Chain A
């Protein structure tokens, strides 16, 4: 075993870090990041918003989805510096100040649309976007749900939750089919 003292490479490293500022969940946020720091790592480890989960770091599983300027983005495929100055929303923004679950969150709860909960935050952000875009339940089934891997539920509860929530008209935004 060898222990390393501070080395030139290590001293250089902090120089590459700089403060990156963006609006996160409606509030200004600043944390140091390297140029190569992923948005997912910036949110999780820089801002300690650990609700955003990293499932594959390859943009495949959907677990890390956040909204950047209202567009769903896999935060593992975006650098924090690319989001500088943007408005980012994460799962932590969905629950009201009173702590009440949102309509979609409650539908997932009541329809058993989650088990281990690791894929859930990313799915919720895609569904939040779908609701804002007034997508139909059919469009969600065709275009939104296929972008999210879930290993626990077999998607039954997720489908049921979307159907239940959209049949009820969402928050008054989702169109009836």
Chain B
């Protein structure tokens, strides 16, 4: 069937909205994935990283003499050598006056167990690891402050003595304490809790990895890196290695999961690149799981003292929090960003008279924290929704009714929060009521030692992280715009270029669907090129912060419209008619090279094939004027006017075994609104995968450090409990579709929305099941030990429930 029309609009809408498998899945299923460690380069050497065995100490000696003389090691780089050849890494989000404001590669003080000190290179990984063990390190231990409490205590050991404090800096968001206090005076009821979220390790199935290849002949460095942000890696490496940016090419091949953990260049990755430059050889480093769990940047790690004030009618008056964020040994490139994001996202989908937060970012002798899926918003959800459920419990109100009473309504939108964000569109109460209805049909009864309950929470997800002006106003040294580039090749095939990265989410397929849809061509004509700084448009933030479909997709919507118009104009010129008098004819199975993929003049039988139009364009034959561009490429830089906000309501049903304290999530459901969906199957994959990670955060995972000596306690996947099949129930996803009015295509982001609400939702369900311990549900993970201890400490005998 031909999808021809004479209206000038080839966009038939047949690709956007289709649940297609990810285009690279067939290759991955065949075992033909191409991850960093799979790449073969000639004459490759292997690196092992020498790491600190202690949480705090002064490096007195680095002696690699024996490592080099007694093994086959080719090179050892310690702090002195690294310092001679590098500069520190830049940092994108700093607090005023923050010291340090960059990341040292050459260190004389170690501040966490696993911190990279140097690197050793040999013929094989095993030999490099052997040699690394023979580096003689002398470290004079210093006292340790492993937690924020210890770091803020009077007389605490100081990580940066020149600062005189472990407080790296502070920020205030939303209304001032005075304004909040004035309104709080009118409150009929105030709920105050200390609410905290543990440190977690991203744990992508593929750990980090680098293959760096410095070619002395051309003085160019090629870096294959498992990363979400190749352009920023390139930029940071240029600074660190004192190179011009155009001497470096960074390629992200297949990336085996990231979740924020591969958003930033780590110091050890830069050291491996330096080793390649010193040797003029390719050098590979593949992180092992222990390094991934202990040495890589971690996520979350904050505690808050938070208050919710209500009037006598149960209306929210104020919400405020004093947030203490655990930066770890030094600020990652994200620095205090996640803690500030918590303050900004605190209000969620509710109306408050006043709301605000203060943030203290604190150095500790533990791994630095950085971006993790849900970036501060999960922590905000935990604070806000726990307080709301506790208020409902204390006041004897129905928690759904309390939320409904205070929810932002459609008539309020667009709605500007006290912290200054403007929510664009949606129907929050409708989502709440739908999820509540789903809860009613899913009630399960308690039996014996098992108490059952369910809970519902709401959240708003900041998506399409931009515009550039907002990031500038927040003091973030990053651009928010995305660029989309479309090339129609001489053979008629279509190549799409974007700076976002496929990390498993299937963005390459979603972008192809968008371009096919808007250009009115078969999907099979399109190839999407991502991940190579030499080929793709610049992107600062790339695939982070739920921005790939909204921003890269938005840019490509516009670029596709332009290219469609251009092809039509060229065809019309060739046919000697007006562009409005041209029909586009294509059969779904057609190749771009067949003559039946063609434009037809409506008032004559004249046709010109798609391929001929493309071929002639590249020859420069059908130009109108000498000014007209020749290359058949269209590039659009898209910087949206504002953020676009997705939202969701999550429901969980749990079983609490009162004898063991084990919590089982038996059922989970969400009502989610991310506007128009490009590919519902990929969207669902993001939401369900996010919920599973949220379940891990709620019940299982913790990157704990020994409070005395700062040693990491979870060093293998046997100690660090990730969700397995038995931990994740069937998850029902229902959608509302409120199109974004500021994003072409009406898309909103959804990469993080699934991961944000599960801990608060599961806590609400536990509180419903065993209300006598509801007040103690203030910290995650809610392990069997935690729940059993709370039950044991509660005065109510279990049988009385």
**Which residues of A does B touch, CB under 8 Å?**
1-4, 6-10, 13, 34, 36-37, 41, 44, 48-58, 60-61, 63, 90-92, 94-95, 99, 101, 105, 108-110, 112, 114-121, 124, 141, 145-146, 149-159
Contacts and interface: CB of A to CB of B under 8 A. Distances in A.
A108 B506 CA distance: 15
Contacts of B65: 2
Nearest to A104: B29
Contacts of B28: 114, 117, 120
Interface string B197-212: 0000001111100000
Q: Which of A92, A101, A110, A152: most chain B Cβ within 10 A?
A: A152
Contact of A53 (B75, B206, B255, B730): B206
Q: Which of B30, B31, B255, B504: most chain A Cβ within 10 A?
A: B31
B728 interface: yes
Interface string B67-89: 01111111111000100100000
B726 A146 contact: yes
Contacts of A7: 68-72
Contacts of A157: 685
Interface in B1-57: 21-22, 24-26, 28-33, 35, 37-38, 40
Contacts of B313: none
Interface residues of B, number: 71
Nearest to B72: A10
Contact of A92 (B30, B37, B693, B716): B30
Interface in B286-345: 288-289
Contact of B69 (A4, A48, A114): A4
Contacts of A99: 30
Interface string B713-725: 0001110001111
B29 A114 contact: yes
A90 to B, nearest CB: 7
Contact of A4 (B68, B203, B278): B68
B257 interface: yes
18 contacts: A6-B72, A8-B70, A9-B70, A48-B40, A50-B35, A52-B31, A53-B256, A55-B206, A90-B31, A112-B684, A114-B22, A117-B33, A121-B33, A145-B725, A152-B205, A153-B688, A154-B690, A155-B692
Contacts of A115: 22, 257, 504-506, 685, 689
A1 B278 contact: yes
Contact of B21 (A37, A92, A95, A112): A112
A8 B73 CA distance: 11
Nearest to A2: B68
B271 interface: no
A63 B204 CA distance: 12
Nearest to B19: A112
The 4 closest A-B pairs by CB, nearest first: A51-B31, A10-B72, A116-B504, A117-B28
B126 interface: yes
Given A9-B72, A61-B717, A119-B205, A101 B504 contact: no
Given A117-B504, A152-B504, 15 more contacts: A1-B75, A7-B70, A55-B205, A63-B205, A91-B31, A95-B31, A115-B506, A116-B254, A116-B504, A117-B33, A118-B256, A145-B725, A151-B204, A151-B259, A156-B730
A95 B257 contact: no
Contact of B718 (A8, A49, A60): A60
B127 interface: yes
B731 interface: yes
A17 to B, nearest CB: 10
Given A4-B69, A112-B681, A154-B731, A50 B29 contact: no
A50 to B, nearest CB: 4
A80 to B, nearest CB: 12
B656 interface: no
B64 interface: yes
A56 B724 contact: no
Interface string B679-723: 001101100111111000000000000000000000011100011
